[in-house]
Amino acid sequence: MDKLQIVGGKRLQGDISVSGAKNAALPILCAGLLTAGDLHLSNVPRLHDVRTMLKLLEKTGLKVTQDDEKVTMNGSAIDTLEAPYELVKTMRASILVLGPLLARFGEAKVSLPGGCAIGSRPVDQHIKGLRAMGAEITIEGGYIYAKAKKLKGARIHTDMITVTGTENLLMAATLAEGETVLENAAREPEVTDLANLLVAMGAKIEGIGTDRLVIQGVAELHGAQHAVISDRIEAATFLCAVAATGGDIVLTNTRTDIFDVALDKLREIGLQLTVGGDTIRAKMDGRPRPVSFRTTEYPGFPTDMQAQFMAVNTIADGASKVTETIFENRFMHVQEMNRLGAQISTEGNTAFIKGVARLVGAPVMATDLRASASLVIAGMAAEGTTLIDRIYHLDRGYDRMEVKLSAVGADIVRIK
Ligand SMILES: CC(=O)N[C@H]1[C@@H](OP(=O)(O)OP(=O)(O)OC[C@H]2O[C@@H](n3ccc(=O)[nH]c3=O)[C@H](O)[C@@H]2O)O[C@H](CO)[C@@H](O)[C@@H]1O
Ligand SMILES: C=C(OP(=O)(O)O)C(=O)O
């Protein structure tokens, strides 16, 4: 199992190119199931999750050709309407094949994703929405069996805002008969990116970027070209890294208009940001200021940045309070950060962080994707050597993070 070895205390200096967004690429790849035409995708990040999704899609009969960050898909010979447990268990986003398969072929068998480290993460809202569109759904032996001769448009109000739930129902609605209204829809830029691709494929969608999506079903969708949006979570992770180590970096291939409150919080920390077009320059000198926040849906503070900001707070000049409202178990990095000398205590879904003057390197264990990223940041800020185990979590969602960081001065190596 690969590990990362980090010697902390190095300032960062130079340019980092941001990759395409994992959370946009995964649903967009599934949109290839909706058409017999060719989808030409670019800026597809080189991630383990993307490889898993392509493997899953190829099992259905979807033809995939890949040239680095370009992927072409053709769905004219799909003959297997199934997502098996072996692949779904490694990546929850696999549930995103359910809506497209059912809408285009009238049938799908998809393994239930099950819980994961950060929470139980049920998919009841995906199922509720598809049932409202006329699907017959049963759950047996850990699989969702869904059938519908033709999905029918419906008005669907999900009980909570769900990102992949919105994406699954949106894709299903593009090929349903009549009008579907999705109320309480997720407004994340990654949902918008998917919706823009669907429109390029011939879908009729109004309200893109709002919490009310109105979709007029069409008989079929055609091929299209699309560049996946830049990853705002990867970008903000690098900005947290420079906030923790000090330095001067420029992020390229980013999109400043899709950022949430994270950029304001980084300014509050003391990061000097110069934002323009597709670049962000970030300069940091001295100790970070502590920031308190509460995670919420977009455009609020993203849960996917909670752990990385907490890493910065551990060495801030003062105390902070972080409340996690999206997932019930997303504080597993706390114990590991405390092993590095951080002073964090938790009470329910709130963490109280007392900033310390220095962290000291130690062996730690990555428990999930963003927890892994937060340990990389803490390790880069710590004195001495930190060894991070189980970095397969990191590889799910970051494209060669250690290569990008060592190119700007970090002392970080992968140990095979
Ligand atoms: C591939 C992808 O895009 N993953 C993102 C997506 O995950 P994902 O789409 O799985 O997260 P959701 O937005 O669905 O989850 C939000 C909350 O709703 C709950 N819920 C969701 C659906 C449902 O049917 N029932 C239910 O109870 C979840 O358990 C969670 O507490 O959004 C999360 C919240 O921004 C991000 O952390 C993930 O990075
Ligand atoms: C929780 C995340 O991803 P996923 O939904 O793919 O598990 C994440 O990207 O932080």
> What HEC string does 149-162 produce?
CCCECCEEECCCCC
- 67 known ligand binder: no
Reference 174, options 232, 125, 224; nearest CA is 224
C-alpha torsion angle, residues 235, 241, 242, 243 (rounded to 10): 110
pLDDT score, position 114: 75
Q: Which of 227, 262, 289 is the last residue of a domain?
A: 227
Q: Are both 32 and 162 inside the same structural domain? A: yes
Residue 177 CA to residue 220 CA, distance in Å, equals: 11
The helix/strand/coil state of 129 is helix
What is the number of the ligand closest to the CA of 167?
Answer: 1
Q: Which residues are catalytic?
A: 116
Q: Are both 325 and 264 inside the same structural domain? A: yes
User: How is residue 20 annotated by DSSP?
Assistant: B
Pairing of strands 212-216, 204-206: antiparallel
Q: Which of 168, 195, 227 is the last residue of a domain?
A: 227
Give how many domains the chain has, as a whole number: 2
Q: Are both 203 and 263 inside the same structural domain? A: no
Atom 16 of ligand 1 has which residue's CA nearest to it?
A: 162
- 204 known ligand binder: no
Domain that holds residue 333: 3-19+230-415
Atom 15 of ligand 1 has which residue's CA nearest to it?
A: 162
pLDDT score, position 30: 98
Could you please report the per-residue DSSP string of 228-259? PPB-HHHHHHHHHHHHHH-EEEEEES--GGG-
CA 369 to each of CA 13, 119, 208, 324, 412: distance values in angstroms, whole numbers, following the listed order:
25, 13, 29, 16, 18
Please tell me if the CB atom of residue 113 comes closer than 6 angstroms to any atom of ligand 2.
Answer: no
What is the number of the ligand closest to the CA of 188?
Answer: 1
Q: Are both 127 and 150 inside the same structural domain? A: yes
Q: Are both 236 and 220 inside the same structural domain? A: no
- Residue 415: what are its φ and ψ, rounded to 5°? -110, 120
Q: Return the number of other C-beta atoms located less than 10 Å from residue 403's C-beta.
A: 10
Asked if residue 176 lies in contact with residue 133, where contact means CB atoms within 8 angstroms, the answer is yes
Q: How far is the CA of 164 from the centre of ligand 1 (A)?
A: 6
Residue 374 CA to residue 394 CA, distance in Å, equals: 10
Q: Are both 361 and 400 inside the same structural domain? A: yes
62: domain CATH number is 3.65.10.10
Residue 29 CA to residue 385 CA, distance in Å, equals: 39
Q: Which of 203, 227, 251 is the last residue of a domain?
A: 227
- Residue 144: what are its φ and ψ, rounded to 5°? -95, 120
Q: Are both 250 and 310 inside the same structural domain? A: yes
pLDDT score, position 277: 85
- 326 known ligand binder: yes
Q: Are both 251 and 321 inside the same structural domain? A: yes
Please tell me if the CB atom of residue 270 comes closer than 6 angstroms to any atom of ligand 2.
Answer: no
Mean pLDDT, consecutive 10-residue stretches, the chain (416 aa), reads 96 98 98 98 97 97 97 98 95 97 98 88 97 98 97 98 98 98 98 98 98 98 98 98 98 91 96 94 97 97 98 98 97 98 98 98 96 98 98 96 98 97
Please tell me if the CB atom of residue 303 comes closer than 6 angstroms to any atom of ligand 1.
Answer: yes
Q: How far is the CA of 91 from the centre of ligand 1 (A)?
A: 13
pLDDT score, position 320: 98
Please tell me if the CB atom of residue 304 comes closer than 6 angstroms to any atom of ligand 1.
Answer: yes
pLDDT score, position 309: 98
Pairing of strands 279-284, 247-252: antiparallel
Residue 182 CA to residue 91 CA, distance in Å, equals: 25
Q: Are both 234 and 289 inside the same structural domain? A: yes
The two structure tokens encoding residue 225: 């070209």
- Residue 224: what are its φ and ψ, rounded to 5°? -165, 170
pLDDT score, position 260: 78
Beta bridge partners of 364: 388
Q: Are both 190 and 311 inside the same structural domain? A: no
Q: Return the number of other C-beta atoms located less than 10 Å from residue 62's C-beta.
A: 23
Q: How far is the CA of 369 from the centre of ligand 2 (A)?
A: 7
> Angle at CA 10, nearest 5°, toward 4 and 11?
125
Residue 331 CA to residue 348 CA, distance in Å, equals: 10
Please tell me if the CB atom of residue 69 comes closer than 6 angstroms to any atom of ligand 1.
Answer: no
The helix/strand/coil state of 84 is coil
Amino acid at residue number 37: G
The two structure tokens encoding residue 21: 């967004």
pLDDT score, position 336: 98
Q: How far is the CA of 241 from the centre of ligand 2 (A)?
A: 20
Tell me the longest C-alpha to C-alpha distance in the chain.
64
Q: Are both 204 and 345 inside the same structural domain? A: no
Q: Are both 55 and 134 inside the same structural domain? A: yes
User: How is residue 407 annotated by DSSP?
Assistant: T
pLDDT score, position 116: 82
Please tell me if the CB atom of residue 260 comes closer than 6 angstroms to any atom of ligand 1.
Answer: no
The two structure tokens encoding residue 36: 């017999």
- 38 known ligand binder: no
- 66 known ligand binder: no
Q: How far is the CA of 267 from the centre of ligand 1 (A)?
A: 28
Atom 7 of ligand 2 has which residue's CA nearest to it?
A: 92
Amino acid at residue number 355: G
- The H-or-E segment that residue 195 falls in is helix 189-200
Reference 27, options 48, 57, 67; nearest CA is 57
User: How many residues would you count in the chain?
Assistant: 416
